[in-house]
Structure 1
Amino acid sequence: MNNKIVFITGASSGIGAACAKVFADAGAKLILAARRNERLQELVEKLNLKPSEFYLLELDVRDRKTVESAISSLPSEWSAIDVLINNAGLSRGLDKLYQADFQDWEEMIDTNIKGLLYMTRYIVPGMVSRGTGHVINIGSIAGHQTYPGGNVYCGTKAAVKSISEGLKQDLLGSPVRVTSVDPGLVETEFSEVRFHGDRDRAKKVYQGMTPLTPDDVADVVFFCATRPIHVNINDVILMPTEQASATLVHRQG
């Protein structure tokens, strides 16, 4: 990965920040994108990156025009993206479908599906023309198994699964690779965002068990990205040892 250009969305925290660390340690050059620019600044300071090793983008992937402008305006030395990690995503609420908040739906669909599509559409053509590249989408066990209250979130992650499979088919004959990394319970800001900042409720999601860490997921992403060029890992499902499915979790006490 030395001097490879890795573009990470949702890089300001959680899995995105963990991916930034593991790829930076391997000598990659990072394009880090997120809505919270101050968190990106803190991340590059924490990683002790030199100015030549990173490029920051304050970016909301839901805004297609902004995404288009950000990609087309990249300096020439940053435009040949080798790896795109579509990590930006979120969940909102656990309401029954017929009682849910419309705004929660919009935010999940716009971020998890449309944002991923925008990034892919503007970056993959360059990979195809250069004859090299790898798209890694951060999916979820929710894309494989629907759980109570998950309805729309699970639908968006099922879409990520289908989009990843469809993109792989469309790229057949091209050396550009596509991978979906689909975790179970990972302790990040995910649950806090889902419950609109209710930290006590968010903590209960991981109570009595040992969830995955963002570093665990980043390790798998890095493994997928560093296989020989003739190897494409299509899909990886990883879960804590104490989780057997989207709904089956063993908790102590």
Structure 2
Amino acid sequence: MRLAGKVVVVTGAGSGLGQALALELLRRGARVAAVDLRSEGLQETMAKAGSLGEGLSLHPLDITDKEKVAALPEEVERVHGQVDGLINNAGIIQPFKRLLDLDEAAMERVMRVNFWGTLHMTRAFLPRLLKRPEAHLVNVSSMGAFVPVPGQALYGASKAAVMLLTEALWAELQGTPVRVTLVLPGAMRTGIAEHSGVEAPRAEGAKVPVLEPEVAAKRLLDAVERDAFRVLLGRDAQTMDLLYRLSPALAARIVQRRMAHLLT
């Protein structure tokens, strides 16, 4: 789907990849409904948009609030007149702890934001998208959806659920105007730990290539414009995807050895 002239909803648009996506969409001639839990983050996005901000609307919202999410499509249509795309980008990580050391509240929060938030947003907007001549749904999962990371078991499970949900939607929506893209990022400089309220331990000795959100946003939107089914963001995601296909056990062992010290 060509993005110029389209209206796209982006969650998590107050920082990191979401903010970079909102700004890049505006540069490509799209209009953007920016959604984020933090009003201050949305205001920062507006400030960075500068003269392009005329095409940007701000929507402070908790995506785990099902009733408020259900009311959002009508709010966006009042502002922009239509909705052509949804990018479910908002997400959090869990505290870096083993599964048995996590409390119930932390586990439930990760699933509510990453999976249920994505699901609620999708169900709220999909009826509108189906009425458009062409539309696009993008769900941002994670490399952690297919490669297990010690200390992020619930995060990985939530993103694996998003991954399979997205693949199933791709199949269900064949023959409709809605195209679907699954995004699997690797390490990225997004500040996700800070916004998740989690202290990120230092990955000492690990040489992990970190992708800048601006670069990732361009690659992601290029994938949307060519209607790609699946896009891996970052050299680490691409490498681990190939390795996991060849030997899941070897891929899991490599990550375990590199990351095990985070739990000591």
Normalised to the residue count of structure 2, the TM-score between the two structures is: 0.84
How much does 1:102 deviate?
Answer: 1.4
Superposed, 1:76-225 pairs within 5 Å as 76-193=78-195, 196-198=197-199, 201-202=200-201, 204=203, 208-225=207-224
The two structures, once aligned, show a CA RMSD in angstroms of 2.4
Give the match's secondary structure for 1:177.
Answer: strand
Could you tell me how far apart the structure 2 residues matched to 1:165 and 1:242 are? 18
**Match of 2:154, SS?**
helix
Instruction: Please state whether the residue corresponding to 2:110 is helix, strand or coil.
Output: helix
CA separation in 2, counterparts of 1:86 and 1:79?
20
Return closer, same or farther for 1:188/1:73 CA change in 2, 3 Å cut-off.
Answer: closer
Task: Call closer, same or farther: CA 1:73–1:238 in 2, change over 3 Å.
Answer: closer
| Segment drifting more, 108-117 vs 139-148 | 139-148
Q: How far apart are 1:61 and its partner, in Å?
A: 0.4
Match among 9, 12, 19 for residue 11 of structure 2: 9
Aligned-residue offset at 1:74: 3.1
SS class of match (2:116): helix
Q: 1:209 to 1:162 in 2, by over 3 A?
A: closer
CA distance in 2, matches of 1:92, 1:46: 29
Distance across 2 between alignment mates of 1:205 and 1:172: 45
Alpha carbons of structure 1 residues 236 and 96: separation in structure 2 relative to 1, 3 Å: same
Three-state SS of the structure 1 residue aligned to 2:150 is: coil
Q: Is the 2:98–2:151 contact (alpha carbons within 8 Å) kept by the matching residues of 1?
A: yes
Q: CA deviation at 1:128?
A: 0.8
Matches of 2:105 and 2:34, distance apart in 1: 27
- Tell me the percent identity: 30
Unaligned runs of 5+ in 1: none
2-side partners of 1:41 and 1:206: how far apart?
A: 37
Q: What is the distance in 1 between the residues matched to 2:238 and 2:183?
A: 17
Match of residue 62, structure 1, among 42, 61, 64:
64
Is the Cα contact below 8 Å between 2:186 and 2:236 reproduced in 1? Answer: no
Query: Residue 158 of structure 1: CA displacement?
Result: 0.5
* Residues in 1 aligned to 2:93 and 2:14: alpha-carbon distance in whole angstroms: 17
Q: How many residue pairs are counted as aligned between the two chains?
A: 243
Of 8-17 and 118-127, deviating more is 118-127
Question: Could you tell me whether the CA contact under 8 Å between 2:129 and 2:135 is conserved in 1?
Answer: yes
**Unmatched runs of 5 consecutive residues or more in structure 2:** 241-251, 259-264
- Counterpart CA distance in 2 for 1:237 and 1:181 is 6
State the shift of 1:17 in Å: 0.5
The CA distance in 1 between the partners of 2:166 and 2:234, in whole Å, is 20
Work out the CA distance in 1 between the residues paired with 2:114 and 2:237: 27
Alignment-mate amino acid for residue 123 of structure 1: F
After TM superposition, the score normalised by the length of structure 1 is 0.87
Aligned to 1:53: 55
CA distance in 2, matches of 1:205, 1:239: 20
SS at match of 2:76: coil
Letter in 2 for 1:151: A
Residues 94 and 202 (structure 1), Cα distance of their counterparts in 2 relative to 1, 3 Å cut = closer
C-alpha offsets along residues 164-206 of structure 1, whole Å, 9 cap, x if unaligned?
Answer: 0111111111121000110111121123345x353xx455479
